[in-house]
Chain A
């Protein structure tokens, strides 16, 4: 389970098999969870969490309750992203690689923004809201909205 972390820690989920959606079975049940220190922009620890749909049928609610800030996955355009965005969880799709490397690249703003789900952007029909706080929000301020902030 996610161990106690400092207030400067955000949690980023990466599906175990890379893909958030696993057609035709549904959604990934296994996630790597990376605790990222926002001050140092380093991955503090990575562990595995299992989503149990029998206990919490809604993946986005489960992620919110565990305090996830965002999801980095290999698929994109999933309608499920709407539900996650509605819980202030951003989704960065079309990303593949080793978990630690992916999350560190995200933390330092190196992941390709072109593939990111642009939360809150009016032109994007499948996105929900922009994350309000944490590294996720900062990511979008820096990468999606450029230097406006």
Chain B
């Protein structure tokens, strides 16, 4: 009678396990699979008949089976492993991203007799994110901001010409990536893309760097030294931070743009310049022209096609997309499986003003991926700078909303509550805080019973 009941219970248990959407399997103390539910069959491609009796590493074939097996970790530490992300290899040798949790199985005497692991297939969410990323990607650039999308739209047409392009955008907005895209789409794509940072070198060095120098042109010049103009022959020369170019060199550059000729230091004859120019600056060149620090004629020469790259603070809709892209990149680079940021951390990142733009966001993600030890990056792992309020932030309708205030005066709170007829949800919404925070402020100011 008891055996029959036990058999019935086992049958119930099997039915229950088979109705669970997550994969579930158990192993004995030798890591041999003892049960394998229907979802596990679907995710791995192996039937229960094929899996049961085999060691789990033969079925799952992850990169951590012999180094950081979650089941072994749970057995050795006695602590459950929760939501760890890794890739398994299914029966058809495809990588399947999964999130797993593992615990120790004990008998009635409390002795460890094996382990149980539940796992869920993350392929769909990965696919969805990849679709969105591909939809909003252009070469190595990614954005779902309308102004950026318009730039992506015109880029192929701009690239197809020989016209000089002026990229205007704050530091870290990706001007070099735009240049790379222009070069790769241009007829000069087989040629080199050469970069020169006009603000990185003092004037004499910069001159020889751009135009080159002949042997004996200056003390210590013992051989002919090609300039970036020569190195970029047949390709594209990217003049980064052109606003920092000293006035004497602006004259020389103007000559190159007008006559397609230049003269290396110490050279007797001019050389032909066979390059397409892309210039970039974070400065307002028109203002510099008005001030007399940038030549008007050069400005008109380089300002044939101007592309303005909006700063990240003006396109917060790109932040989650860039985070996804950065997580992919840094997870791969550092061998991690961080699935994302907590909601709290995301809120902070969405309200930060990013003076360093995309470069700063990528640095934040890289830093937190390196330091994160679990599957999700929390707000407490973010660098302190991201909690600082934006000093210039207004409340204009076309700008992202302000960061939530950290405290409120009694008078202001009372006024707000009166204006919203005591509706706390509306007050909290206006302040950009949750209702708990509002309640805490009200209590502190003796307004909780209002």
B146 contacts A23, C-beta separation under 8 Å: no
Q: Is B207 an interface residue (CB 8 A)?
A: no
Per-residue interface assignment for chain A, residues 52 to 79, with 1 indicating a CB less than 8 Å from any chain B CB and 0 otherwise? 1111100000000111000000000000
A2 contacts B346, C-beta separation under 8 Å: no
A48 contacts B124, C-beta separation under 8 Å: no
CB distance from A19 to the nearest CB of B (A): 6
Q: In the complex, what distance in Å separates the CA atom of A18 from the CA atom of B128?
A: 9
B21 contacts A24, C-beta separation under 8 Å: yes
Considering only CB atoms, which chain B residue lies closest to A24 in the complex? B120
Q: In the complex, what distance in Å separates the CA atom of A25 from the CA atom of B83?
A: 11
Q: In the complex, what distance in Å separates the CA atom of A45 from the CA atom of B397?
A: 6
CB distance from B71 to the nearest CB of A (A): 21
CB distance from B340 to the nearest CB of A (A): 9
Q: Is B426 an interface residue (CB 8 A)?
A: yes
- Taking CB atoms, residues of chain B closer than 8 Å to A51 are 343
Considering only CB atoms, which chain B residue lies closest to A22 in the complex? B125
Number of interface residues of B (CB under 8 A): 40
- Contact among A25, A44, A50 with B346 in the assembled complex (CB-CB below 8 Å): A50
Chain B stretch 315-345: residues in CB contact (< 8 A) with chain A? 316-317, 319-320, 342-344
Considering only CB atoms, which chain A residue lies closest to B149 in the complex? A98
B320 contacts A55, C-beta separation under 8 Å: no
- Taking CB atoms, residues of chain A closer than 8 Å to B342 are 52, 54
B401 contacts A1, C-beta separation under 8 Å: yes
- Taking CB atoms, residues of chain A closer than 8 Å to B125 are 22-25
B22 contacts A24, C-beta separation under 8 Å: yes
Question: Given A1-B404, A16-B320, are A24 and B343 neighbors across the interface (CB < 8 Å)?
Answer: no
Q: In the complex, what distance in Å separates the CA atom of A50 from the CA atom of B316?
A: 12
CB distance from A48 to the nearest CB of B (A): 6
Q: Is B256 an interface residue (CB 8 A)?
A: no
Number of interface residues of A (CB under 8 A): 33
- Taking CB atoms, residues of chain B closer than 8 Å to A4 are 430
- Taking CB atoms, residues of chain A closer than 8 Å to B316 are 47-48
- Taking CB atoms, residues of chain B closer than 8 Å to A2 are 401, 429, 432
Considering only CB atoms, which chain B residue lies closest to A64 in the complex? B425
- Taking CB atoms, residues of chain A closer than 8 Å to B401 are 1-3, 47
B397 contacts A19, C-beta separation under 8 Å: no
- Taking CB atoms, residues of chain B closer than 8 Å to A24 are 21-22, 120-122, 124-125
Q: Would you list the 7 A-B pairs with minimal beta carbon distance, nearest first?
A: A1-B432, A52-B343, A24-B120, A65-B425, A50-B347, A50-B346, A45-B397
What are 25 A-B contacts with C-beta separation under 8 Å?
Answer: A1-B404, A2-B401, A3-B430, A4-B430, A18-B128, A19-B128, A22-B128, A24-B125, A25-B122, A25-B125, A30-B346, A50-B350, A52-B342, A52-B343, A52-B347, A54-B343, A54-B344, A55-B434, A55-B436, A56-B434, A65-B425, A67-B425, A67-B429, A98-B144, A100-B146
